[in-house]
Amino acid sequence: MMVLRTSIISDKSQETELLEGPTPRHSLLSGRYKQSFAYLSLRTRMPGIMQQMIMRITSESPSLVEQFGEDVMNDVRHIVDCVDRLKNELNRDRQFIFFHGNEPDKAEWNAFLTELPRPKKSFFRACWLHAECYLYRRLYSFFENSRYLNGYDPFNHLKMDDLTISTNAMKSLAKATRGLAKSFDNFSNLLRIVLWSNHYEITLGAYEFSEEESRTDINVLAQVADLDRNLLVDDSTYIWNCLIKKRECSSNIVDFICDNGGFEFFTDMLFLEYLIENDLASQVRLHVKAIPWYISDLMAKDIEWTINYLIQQTDAILSSVGSRWLHLMNTEKIIVAPQSYFWTGPQPYFVMVELDLELYKLLTSSRLVIFKGDLNYRKLLGDFIWDSAEEFITCLRGFRPTNIAAIRTVKCEVICGLPEGMSDTLLRSDPMWMISSNYGLIQYTDSLKCACGLLSGTTCNMTNKDALQPLACSSFSRRTTLKEHM
């Protein structure tokens, strides 16, 4: 079990070290700044999530007793107590504690916690990414160290519900994407639907179709996705060109770093199926989370459940989509990549080559890596407040395993690659634009295999676009960069 230790930091000292105002530019996101989204999330959102977990496992007690017997209630009571104590630790800005249970990744986590500077070892003063990842890791550790509930997913019902309530949207999209021709317009439409898939069912349900508009026209459905949304950067053309240009001795594999399950994963699979069907990818590798993560993040079991759910539908189109995806999985056109706990760690991606070399090597073997979602974007940029006009390639800080694309709705202050002055203009017209989820990015950068110690034996594929960019990785020592980032 995890050992709880009491912090010596008083509530009074914690309050005096919190600062008014937003997170300063060129700083790590942190709950230390009271006008930051990080502060709001740690102060209100995370305690709310923990309370919902307590309510959920309590309400499921009768079914758990039926499944495991009365002894399971000892686990339930202990987990509820642990979650409640963690909530109190967060509210009081206590120091992080080590993992001492059955967590498979406890050595990596404890090494990370040991390296953190003492002033940044508590929830509100640490980097937000570190604090938030730590919270979710602690939460699942309570289940891992229980007798009966190791493997229990406290967020499972949310992912299932998100798919089951989206039947109408799934039917329309499934019909629109059967036999979809290979063209940039179709590719771009699907990419935008993937970007805006959150709340798409609600938007589609409220949309009034004209007599000329079909519910199964991919162009119309993409227009619906775009409603009241603003695409700030659109590198779809670069991504398309990356996929259609075949190179000798070059892989045609696409790695897809997944985000949420539920309906969002349904739209992801429609897009990935399109890549396979139109020879834009020979294989897609899905990278999922090893443990329940950030409420709705996708796990391997969620993929199996989604496909089985679709196959069992009475609607012929949805059932055929499920069967088609099962065939793609069985023939290994789409596979689940080897499990890695790096995806549920607190580190930014520029240290992957040092901390998980096998994962990094795997990514180097693909044509393109697509990072989906806000958390992946934060890890790409290191949860750092860059100048909003800074180049995407620079903000990756040397992380260049292959060609990289990021698809993300903006939910926090971490952003880059905008035209000069756009951020200030948006701030004047919409002060909450960075946390509204109404703005999105589709960003891309070509591979840059240079002599900066990434991997021996790789080749340089610098393109005209990259030739204009600085060699962002040349000045970074891996270990030094990690410490600077803390």
Does 2 reside within a domain? no
How many CA atoms are closer than 13 Å to the CA of 207, on its beta-carbon side?
24
Residue 444 to residue 334: CA distance in whole angstroms:
22
Please give the pLDDT value at position 135: 98
pLDDT, residue 471, reads: 31
Q: What is the largest CA-CA distance in the chain?
A: 68
Q: Which domain holds residue 17?
A: 11-152
CA distances to 11, 85, 143, 151 from 103, in Å: 30, 19, 10, 12
Check residue 474 and give its pLDDT. 29
End-to-end Cα separation, the chain, in angstroms: 28
Residue 450 has pLDDT above 60, yes or no: no
- Average pLDDT (174-200) is 96
Segment 279-290, tens digit of pLDDT: 999 999 999 999
Amino acid letter at 434? M
Are 282 and 410 found together in one domain?
Answer: yes
CB-based contacts of 298, cutoff 8 Å, min separation 6: 159, 258, 259, 260, 261, 265, 286, 288, 289
Q: What is the pLDDT of residue 7?
A: 36
Residue 485 pLDDT class (50, 70, 90 cuts): low
What's residue 10's pLDDT? 41
173 and 144 both lie in a single domain: no
Q: How far apart are CA 156 and CA 86, in angstroms?
A: 21
| In a shared domain, residues 144 and 198 | no
Residue-level pLDDT at 181: 97
Q: Are residues 442 and 319 in the same domain?
A: yes
Cα gap 156→150, rounded to integer Å? 14
446-474 mean pLDDT = 41
Return the number of other C-beta atoms located less than 10 Å from residue 332's C-beta: 10
Bridge partners, 477 (sequence order): none
Q: What pLDDT is attached to residue 251?
A: 78
Give me the pLDDT at residue 248, please.
Answer: 60
In a domain, 157, yes or no: no
Residue 222 lies in a domain: yes
Asked if residue 247 and residue 124 are part of one domain, the reply reads no
> In this model, does residue 486 exceed pLDDT 90?
no
In a domain, 35, yes or no: yes
pLDDT tens, position by position, 15-33 = 448 899 899 999 999 999 9
- The pLDDT value recorded for residue 289 is 98
CATH of residue 127's domain is 1.20.930.60
Assigned domain for 455 exists: yes
* Of 241-250, 304-313, 415-424, minimum mean pLDDT range: 241-250
Q: What is the CA angle 223-229-234, rounded to 5?
A: 80
CA distance 387 to 351: 21
Give the single-character DSSP code of 283.
E
Token look-up 């994407």 returns 177
Same structural domain for residues 76 and 195? no
Q: How many folded domains does the chain comprise?
A: 2
Q: What is the mean pLDDT of the chain?
A: 90
Q: Quick one: 284 and 257 in the same domain?
A: yes
pLDDT score recorded for residue 207: 93
* pTM exceeding the 0.75 threshold for the entire prediction: yes
- The residue among 126, 152, 178 that closes a domain is 152
Residue with tokens 């694309």: 405
Do 57 and 104 fall within a single domain? yes
Check residue 199 and give its pLDDT.
84
Query: What tokens were used for 403?
Result: 């060609």
pLDDT digits (tens, 9 = 90+) for 358-396: 999 999 999 999 999 999 999 999 999 999 999 999 999
Clarify whether residues 147 and 168 are in a common domain: no
The answer on 339 and 294 residing in a single domain is yes
Structure tokens at 146: 């229980």
Domain end position, chosen among 92, 118, 152: 152
CA atoms of 175 and 155, how far apart (whole Å): 30
Whether the predicted pLDDT of 1 surpasses 60: no
Dist. CA 262–CA 164, nearest whole Å: 8
**Do the beta carbons of residue 196 and residue 225 sit within 8 Å?**
yes
23 and 50 share a domain?
yes
Calculate the dihedral angle through the C-alpha atoms of 248, 249, 250, 251, rounding to the nearest 10 degrees: 130
The DSSP 8-state label assigned to residue 338 in this structure reads P
Residues 294, 410, single domain; the answer is yes
Q: Is residue 5 part of a domain?
A: no
* CATH assignment of the domain containing 341: 3.40.50.10880
Residue 166's H or E segment, with its range, is: none
Q: Which of 178, 193, 108 minimizes the C-alpha distance to 409?
A: 193
Residue that finishes a domain, picked among 110, 132, 152: 152
**Going by C-beta distance under 8 Å and a sequence separation of 6 or more, which residues neighbour residue 428?**
none
Q: Which of 70, 121, 60 is nearest to 95 (CA)?
A: 121
- C-alpha pair distances (Å), 123 with each of 128, 129, 241, 429, 439: 8, 10, 43, 33, 28
What's the CA gap between 332 and 327, in Å, rounded?
8
Per-residue pLDDT for 98 more than 60?
yes
Digit-coded pLDDT (tens) for 407-439? 999 999 999 999 999 999 999 999 999 999 999
Asked, for residue 423, whether it belongs to a domain, the answer is yes
Could you tell me the two tokens for 178? Answer: 């059967």
Among 68-77, 192-201, 414-423, the least confident range: 192-201
* pLDDT value of position 247: 67
Long-range CB contacts (within 8 A, 24+) of 59-64: 64/148, 64/149
pLDDT on residue 15: 47
Please tell me the distance from the alpha carbon of residue 367 to that of residue 240, in angstroms, as a whole number: 12
Residue 54: exposure state from Cβ atoms within 10 A (0-12, 13-18, ≥19)? middle
For residue 455, is pLDDT > 60?
no
Residue 209 C-beta-side C-alpha neighbours within 13 Å: 13
Asked if residue 167 is part of any domain, the answer here is yes
- Asked if 310 and 318 touch (Cβ cutoff 8 Å), the reply is yes
- Reported as a single tens digit per residue, the pLDDT across 124-160 is 999 999 999 999 999 999 999 999 999 999 999 999 9
